[in-house]
């Protein structure tokens, strides 16, 4: 997105493709293979935590780089809506990702316990 703002209309399509690839392939793979097993709670809670981590990284790294793009917003209220709106988007993204990944995680079988009790 930042390159789209810097490069004008010509860079808009590659920036959107990069945004799509990051959001649908890169970040979910990082979540599934590196982060999911270390976060506590139910799968959807893990996803919300992942969304919060992504939001924090965005606010710490990306937003200062895009200061010129955000500086056109003069109202503190508009900036707050931008920041907390982005938080809401990341939390919903993380919750959906955690729910989808959790649906595929192996669930413990109750059959061995039933067999043990029957014996």
**pLDDT score for 4:** 52
H helices of the chain, where?
2-7, 12-21, 27-30, 43-57, 63-65, 67-70, 76-104, 111-118
pLDDT tens across 81-107, in order? 888 899 999 999 999 999 999 876 555
Residue 118 has which token pair?
A: 């029957």
To which H or E segment does residue 105 belong?
none
Tell me what the mean pLDDT of segment 4-23 comes to: 77
- Calpha distance 47→20 (Å, rounded): 18
Tokens at 8, concatenated = 């004008």
Which range of 3-7, 101-105, 111-115 scores highest in mean pLDDT? It is 101-105
* For the chain, domain boundaries: 2-105
CA distance 106 to 44: 15
Residue 61 has pLDDT above 70, yes or no: yes
- pLDDT > 60? residue 17: yes
* pLDDT reading at 117 higher than 70: no
Whether the per-residue pLDDT at 73 is higher than 80: the answer is: no
Confidence of residue 12 (pLDDT cuts 50, 70, 90): confident
């Amino acid at each position: 997105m930042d390159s789209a703002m810097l490069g004008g209309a010509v860079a808009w399509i590659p920036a959107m493709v990069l945004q799509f690839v990051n959001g649908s392939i890169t970040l979910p793979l990082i979540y599934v293979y590196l982060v999911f097993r270390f976060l506590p709670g139910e799968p959807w809670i893990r996803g919300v935590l992942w969304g919060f981590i992504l939001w924090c990284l965005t606010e710490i790294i990306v937003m200062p780089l895009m200061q010129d793009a955000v500086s056109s917003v003069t109202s503190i209220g508009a900036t707050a809506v931008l920041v907390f709106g982005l938080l809401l988007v990341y939390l919903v993204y993380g919750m959906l990702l955690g729910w989808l990944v959790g649906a595929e995680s192996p669930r413990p079988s109750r059959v061995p316990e039933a067999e043990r009790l029957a014996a």
